[in-house]
């Protein structure tokens, strides 16, 4: 099995400092956050430029080139509702360290993001969801099949479709958590890759609790076969848990210094 | 459905390490397939063969080895002749005389031997110790200094002495560091991590993950080497992508099949043939498990293994 793929989530317009840096094309805060995440062990970096209705393509190009030139062609997930911006980003993207990830498609209004990934030989995060939250795993699986078929018809390698079960918030949907884990197991049994916004599960919890809950969730999800997650790589407890799970799953070879590498 | 052959080529590859300098410099490693899987992808650098000589000269060597070096009176001449051995790519000088339980030569004497060999040859050189850890720490550190500018492999830095030996070889004198562990895959990786953390670049590290003569716990050697290559290529483990070098001669010529005289074991046949047999079968096996270089001593073994590599590449 391949090593778990962490996608760093800290370059997002939801963070005011990042939003401001994107708007002003100020490289410093962006480079600083990217470096923090890579030093902590992130494999991919997510670049969320928000809806970016006005200058999306130009902004995405700028960020992609900034990050890849600064960090040896670091692989990126391009995250925006503006499709033209994703295409613009891919047009300047260097694939030396990994294909770009399109973040994200779903089985509803955003299904065409699969077409976009297929046309650009990219990986796509495929959210097993349409409108509202899926009632059960049968519904999630229907969405998964719909998207898988669409991708394959367009010539995509199924390994390039990373299915997202949609992690749900525990405070409010505690009774759904095992369902999500079971769905990850179903994806894994089909030998499909999976990913998702892990920290959704601990949304609304006290700050001190979230790393603990996220770590427990990632360990259980990796047990079920989760192959990737969108995470805060600067959460030390979480990263240590992921590295330890990678050892237990025999994804990486143990050495006494495994937490340092 | 038509059969679609799938290439066993990996996205990861073994590091390429350059040893020696000038025209005769050699490259080991670089492959992105399993050993000799040239049908999956070309292997740019064929495995290399080294010839082991010791600072004690030829006294204890088998007749065939003595015959090859006939007429050589100094260590420098022996080294020169070893470098010319058909099929050989490099020379390995073993500082056997430094062993406190053996000849117990002074460090100065040992370094004079290093200097003599360094000056005599233009092929790449590997310098190995006497296997006494405390003594090797001193000898190898000094040897790295004496051989400065020659880009040699210092074999080896171990868990006990890596801080001194790897720092001298890899940082102070810009040589290649051989990281030695004994059939322990986790330690093999850990040692690479520790040496890297000292600041030695991965491209300056090679591994000796341990060996044994065939028949002497060799299955441990096989599984260690196999798993190192599998992790390096299959899991893209950058801490295991260092090429492997395996000293075979010492092991193969020190087991009873090679040491029992024909008088004692008439039914086993000529003693020297048995030693060659042990050396050849051990070398062939470690190469099949992924060794990027082997160290042998008998000209007949070198010729056989060289032919094998050429036929398989």
A3: contact with B, CB 8 A cutoff: yes
B190: contact with A, CB 8 A cutoff: yes
Q: Which residues, listed in sequence order, are joined to residue A197 by a DSSP beta bridge?
A: A230
Q: Do A254 and B231 touch (CB under 8 A)?
A: no
B185: contact with A, CB 8 A cutoff: yes
**Mean pLDDT across A222-245:** 98
Average pLDDT of chain A, as a whole number: 96
**Sign of the dihedral defined by the CA atoms of residues A164, A122, A160, A261, in that order:** negative
Average pLDDT of chain B, as a whole number: 96
Residue A66 banded pLDDT, cuts 50, 70, 90: very high
Q: Do B190 and A257 touch (CB under 8 A)?
A: yes
Element (H, E) at B127: strand B125-128
Q: Write the pLDDT tens digit of every residue in B221-254.
A: 999 999 999 999 999 999 999 999 999 999 999 9
Here the ipTM equals: 0.84
A252 closest CB neighbour out of B190, B197, B235:
B235
Residue A132 banded pLDDT, cuts 50, 70, 90: confident
pLDDT at B133 over 90: yes
Please state the pTM of the whole predicted model: 0.89
**Mean pLDDT across B75-90:** 98
Closest CA to A23 of A34, A13, A9: A13
Angle at B279 (CA atoms; ends B276, B282), nearest 5 degrees: 145
Q: Answer yes or no: are the C-beta atoms of B192 and B179 closer than 8 Å.
A: yes
Calculate the CA A88 to chain-centre distance: 20
Among the four given CATH numbers 3.40.50.200, 1.10.357.10, 3.40.50.1460, 3.20.20.20, the one describing domain A5-260: 3.20.20.20
Helix axes B133-146, B107-120, angle to 10 degrees: 40
- In the prediction, which pLDDT does A243 show? 98
B233: contact with A, CB 8 A cutoff: no
Closest A-chain CA to B230: A253
Q: Which residues, listed in sequence order, are joined to residue B193 by a DSSP beta bridge?
A: none
B237 closest CB neighbour out of A253, A256, A257:
A253
Q: Write the pLDDT tens digit of every residue in B264-306.
A: 999 999 999 999 999 999 999 999 999 999 999 999 999 999 9
- For an interface test with B, the pick among A159, A255, A258 (most B C-beta atoms closer than 10 Å) comes out as A255
- In the prediction, which pLDDT does B5 show? 77
Q: Do A253 and B189 touch (CB under 8 A)?
A: yes
Residue A53 banded pLDDT, cuts 50, 70, 90: confident
- In the prediction, which pLDDT does A42 show? 97
Q: Write the pLDDT tens digit of every residue in A173-213.
A: 999 999 999 999 999 999 999 999 999 999 999 999 999 99
- In the prediction, which pLDDT does A74 show? 97
pLDDT at B212 over 90: yes
**Mean pLDDT across B89-113:** 97
Q: Which residues, listed in sequence order, are joined to residue B48 by a DSSP beta bridge?
A: B293
Going from the N-terminus, what domains does chain B have, and what CATH number goes with each?
46-306 (3.20.20.20)
Closest A-chain CA to B189: A255
Element (H, E) at A35: helix A27-39
Residue B1 banded pLDDT, cuts 50, 70, 90: low
Distance CA B113, CA A139 (A): 77
pLDDT at B82 over 80: yes
**Sign of the dihedral defined by the CA atoms of residues B46, B47, B53, B55, in that order:** positive
């Amino acid at each position: 099995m391949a090593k778990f793929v962490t996608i760093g989530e800290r370059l997002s317009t939801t963070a005011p400092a990042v939003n401001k840096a994107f708007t002003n094309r100020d490289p410093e805060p962006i480079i600083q956050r990217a470096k923090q995440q890579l030093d902590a062990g992130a494999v991919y970096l997510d670049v969320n430029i928000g809806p970016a209705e006005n200058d999306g393509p130009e902004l995405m190009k700028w960020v992609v080139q900034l990050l890849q030139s600064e960090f040896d062609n670091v692989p990126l997930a391009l995250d925006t509702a503006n499709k033209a911006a994703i295409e613009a980003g891919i047009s300047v993207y260097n694939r030396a360290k990994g294909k770009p990830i399109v973040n994200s498609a779903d089985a509803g209004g955003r299904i065409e993001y699969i077409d976009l990934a297929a046309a650009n030989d990219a990986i796509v995060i495929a959210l097993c969801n349409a409108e509202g939250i899926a009632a059960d795993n049968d519904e999630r699986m229907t969405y998964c099949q719909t998207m898988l078929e669409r991708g394959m018809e367009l010539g995509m390698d199924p390994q390039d479709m990373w299915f997202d079960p949609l992690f749900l918030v525990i405070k409010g949907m505690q009774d759904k958590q095992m369902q999500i884990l079971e769905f990850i197991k179903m994806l894994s049994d089909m030998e499909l890759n999976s990913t998702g916004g892990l920290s959704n599960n601990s949304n609304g919890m006290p700050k001190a609790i979230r790393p603990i809950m996220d770590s427990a969730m990632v360990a259980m999800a990796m047990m079920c076969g989760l192959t990737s997650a969108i995470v805060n790589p600067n959460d030390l407890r979480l990263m240590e848990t992921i590295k330890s799970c990678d050892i237990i799953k025999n994804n990486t070879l143990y050495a006494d210094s495994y937490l340092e590498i | 459905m038509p059969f679609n052959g799938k290439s066993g080529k990996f996205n990861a590859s073994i590091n390429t390490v350059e040893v020696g300098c000038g025209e005769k410099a050699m490259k080991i490693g670089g492959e992105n397939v399993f050993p000799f899987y040239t049908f999956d992808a070309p292997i740019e650098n064929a495995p290399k063969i080294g010839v082991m000589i010791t600072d004690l000269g030829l006294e204890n060597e088998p007749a065939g080895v003595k015959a090859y070096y006939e007429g050589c009176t100094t260590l420098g001449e022996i080294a020169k002749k070893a470098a010319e051995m058909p099929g050989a790519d490099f020379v390995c000088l073993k500082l056997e005389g430094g062993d406190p339980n053996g000849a117990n030569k002074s460090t100065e004497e040992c370094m004079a031997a290093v200097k003599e060999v360094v000056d005599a040859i233009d092929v790449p050189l590997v310098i190995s110790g006497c296997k006494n850890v405390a003594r090797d720490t001193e000898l190898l550190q000094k040897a790295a200094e004496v051989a400065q500018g020659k880009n040699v492999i210092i074999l080896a830095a171990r868990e006990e002495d890596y801080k001194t030996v790897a720092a001298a070889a890899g940082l102070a004198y810009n040589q290649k560091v051989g990281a030695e562990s004994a059939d322990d895959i986790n330690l093999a990786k850990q040692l690479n991590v520790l040496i890297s953390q000292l600041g030695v670049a991965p491209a300056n590290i090679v591994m000796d993950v341990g060996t044994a003569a065939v028949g002497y716990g060799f299955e441990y050697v096989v599984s260690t080497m196999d798993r190192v290559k599998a992790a390096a290529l299959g899991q893209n483990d950058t801490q295991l992508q260092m090429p492997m070098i395996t000293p075979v001669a010492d092991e193969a010529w020190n087991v009873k099949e090679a040491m029992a005289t024909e008088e004692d074991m008439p039914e086993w046949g000529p003693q020297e043939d048995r030693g060659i047999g042990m050396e050849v079968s051990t070398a062939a096996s470690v190469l099949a498990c992924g060794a990027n270089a082997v160290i042998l001593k008998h000209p007949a073994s070198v010729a056989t293994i060289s032919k094998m590599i050429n036929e398989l590449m």
